[in-house]
Chain A
Amino acid sequence: MHRLKLTSCLIFFLFICLPHPLVQAVEPPDGYTHDEAMRLGEQMYRNGILPSGNPMQALVMGDIPFDGRMFTCDDCHQRSGLGTEEGSVITWPTNGKMLLLPRKRTGAFRQPTSDAEKQNARRTLPPYFQVEDERPPYDERSLANALRVGKDSGGRSLDPIMPKYRLSNSSMAILTYYLMHLSVDFAPGVDDEVLHFATVIAGDVPEEKKTAMLSVLQTHIDNHNSQGRHESRRAASGPFFKSEAHQAYRKLKLHVWELTGTEETWHEQLEGYYRDQPVFALLGGISEGPWQKIHGFSEKNRIPCILPITDQPVLSDTDWYTLYFSKGVSLEGETAAKYVRAGLSMKGTIMARQIYRRGNTKAAALAEGFSTAWKSIAGQEVQQLVLGEDDELSDQALNDLLDSPEPVVLLAWLDSTDKEAFKILGRHGGRAAMVFASSTMLNNDFSAIPDALKENLLVTYPHSLPSEDQKSRFAVEQWLRARKIPAGDFDIQAKMYFLGWMLSGGIKSMRSEFYRDYFLEGFDMMIDQDYAIAVYPRLTFGPGQRYSSKGCYIVRLSSGSNPELIPVSDWVIY
């Protein structure tokens, strides 16, 4: 009896302490720790680079040799390993969880042969409806076979688009170990009933903007939760062929994380919020300044942050976890540079000169966007006139700036409080080949622009023109009215309306696979949007694309106190 108890305790102890039963099948390759094997495996999977530092070598379509840097595992199977569908090609999951499960195939319907089968048929896939496994679970040997010779664990040939890799036993062991541990445990922030999200309000955000963002986002969450009041019952008793959809259902909960004090403390505040309540992803959010701290937090913890409202996103070709509406003011600077190149044909030297105020981070980001693009286009540095916070722009300073034998392009990244500066620009701006201002800097308030300047002024305008967004705008306004949300900052409300519209698709495409990378991949695969977004002509998505709006108009202003915006460029300028 005592021995029986001891054995039971041992079995219980082993059950509790052992790692995930699927993952325990694979041990780290000899000579490597778990972390090393995962790092090297990730390098092979994402970058096509062997542990030796050389590129992987493979054949695709039977006889086309290629270098692993050209075509990586995660191109098709994605970071999550959950696979994709693209056109006529379906890529199966290669994450640890799915590799170690057999793949069942449903057969043609046959009539149940007994009463027991008839009763069971609703809840589980009945035996008479199943055929044999399409493939058995993979093990290390069969996975190596799939990677080297293109045969699955059932011995069937894979589509020739699946490369056949030339891998040593050691490299194969590392890649296998990585795959077996890829997307095995669900991400934090989800349990059997609730999917937790947070939205970040960073620093001093005017109350009306905060309300505009939160009211629309919370309404989307409430809508989701109210429509699903029968989902728990369906998940428990619904028919087997809908079980995946019903069992995926979770109520959504939105946590509001308000960051206060200096930016240097924000990261710690975010970590604190996260320790108290882990969330699956960040939705929306708003900041009047740079998004850098929140971006860094997302990147460090691999938490997706979907469509925050900021004019100062982090610009990166490699960071992954924050999906922005656009490159913000930097895109305006870049667009101005491209427009100058296209407009002046770049036949001679053009002197580009910028004016902005010290301490204005938005203006500095805009100027940086222009300078970087201009250097790339014209190979020239941009001369800057940085005004102190209380300095006035003088006629003399502006004349000095315009003084050049070469044509001068002047970029005045000032806000609408700089009325005097714009008056001076009106007096002397005619000497410049082009004068630019930013609608974002001016907050779409053009009252500071004197008519004398308008003839020569070009304005960057990164939104839909008032003349072209009426249908989408009307749809958003109707939606807000129907849900009794007071009209507020329309730009913010329209963006959050769009986020909610996309969110339902993102959650649906994730199914019951609660992995953060997979959630983000759902947005990557979204169809380009020009219907539900009222403030941009269109938003486009794609794997790894992290700035959805790619365009910015250049407009002229008609004269008068309420000027009309007259576009002089296409939405996208090359």
Chain B
Amino acid sequence: MARPIRPGTRVVCTVLFLFLLVSFARAGESDYYKRTLEGYEVPEVTLLTQEGKEIDLSTYLDPEKLIVLDFIFATCTTICPVLSISFANLQKQLGESASRVQLVSITIDPDNDTPALLKEHLQKYGARPGWDALTGKRDSIIEVMKAFDSYVSNKMDHYPLTLLRAPGQKQWVRLYGLLSASDLKKECEQLLQK
């Protein structure tokens, strides 16, 4: 004879089920980063690639590709090297899918970070085609940072942020914090499947 489930047990099971559901819905978010969905509008600003080529940011971000975007500066000590190592590793890990992904690093120190310096930065991390670094007028950079809710008045106060937009989507996934290789790959693969 089956024993009846006590009301207390039922509550515990329900709470546990809801907890698991929420955990899965967080798509692998770990203790080290926070994942939110955002409705950012990409501003129409002109920036320069590491080759010195002028681009309009809103059209440059390819709607058919997964966009992975971060903010860095070339002389940053702690956060940016890890973000850049993470991008370099992601390019290797994605294999054939890499052609469906556009990596973009935008400097937050445009006075110092010339296209030539950004080119050196990419070379230092072994960047492959599909990963560009952008600079531009100070006002344009500030406009971009504000559009992505990442503006800091002092560059030394900046924080680790990775922004993703799935192919054909308008919504952005904001990942606050530094991610492991497996976390970033998982986030990218999930968006590539959309």
Contact = CB atoms under 8 A, between A and B. Distances in A.
Contact of B85 (A66, A76, A85, A572): A66
Contacts of B170: none
A63 B159 contact: no
Given A76-B78, A86-B77, A550-B111, 4 more contacts: A69-B124, A161-B82, A528-B155, A550-B112
Contact of B78 (A69, A75, A376, A528): A75
Contacts, number: 108
Cβ-closest 6 pairs across A and B? A550-B111, A542-B75, A71-B81, A87-B159, A527-B154, A86-B78
B84 interface: yes
A572 B76 CA distance: 20
B156 interface: yes
A86 B156 contact: yes
10 contacts: A64-B82, A69-B124, A71-B81, A71-B82, A76-B77, A86-B77, A87-B159, A572-B111, A572-B137, A574-B115
Interface string A66-91: 10011100011010000011111101
Contacts of B181: 61-64
Nearest to B177: A88
A506 interface: no
Nearest to A85: B156
Given A70-B85, A89-B79, A543-B77, A574 B114 contact: yes
Interface string B141-171: 0000000000011111111100000000000
A333 to B, nearest CB: 15
Contact of A542 (B48, B155, B177, B182): B155
Interface residues of B, number: 43
A56 B82 CA distance: 16
Given A64-B181, A86-B78, A572-B138, A542 B112 contact: yes
B160 A60 contact: no
Q: Which residue of B86, B158, B181 has the most chain A CB atoms within 10 A of its CB atom?
A: B181
A125 B82 CA distance: 38
Given A87-B79, A572-B138, A64 B86 contact: yes
Interface centre among A61, A65, A78, A84 (most CB of B within 10 A): A61
B135 A538 contact: no
B173 to A, nearest CB: 18
Contacts of B114: 574
Interface string A484-505: 0000000000000000000000
Interface residues of A, number: 37
Interface in A536-574: 538, 540, 542-545, 550-551, 570, 572, 574
A102 interface: no
A320 to B, nearest CB: 13
Nearest to A540: B111
Contact of B112 (A91, A161, A540): A540
Interface of B: 32, 48, 52, 73, 75-79, 81-82, 84-86, 88-89, 109-112, 114-116, 124-125, 135, 137-138, 152-160, 177-182
A156 B110 CA distance: 39
A63 B182 contact: yes
B4 to A, nearest CB: 45
B75 A544 contact: yes
A525 interface: yes
A69 B81 CA distance: 11
A160 interface: yes
Given A70-B125, A528-B155, A542-B155, A161 B111 contact: no
A140 B73 CA distance: 35
Contacts of B156: 85-87, 525, 527
Nearest to B114: A574
Contacts of B182: 63
B91 to A, nearest CB: 12
Contact of B76 (A85, A86, A570, A574): A86
A85 B181 CA distance: 24
A90 to B, nearest CB: 9
Contacts of A65: 89
B180 A64 contact: yes
Interface in A70-118: 70-71, 75-76, 78, 84-89, 91
Interface string A32-48: 00000000000000000
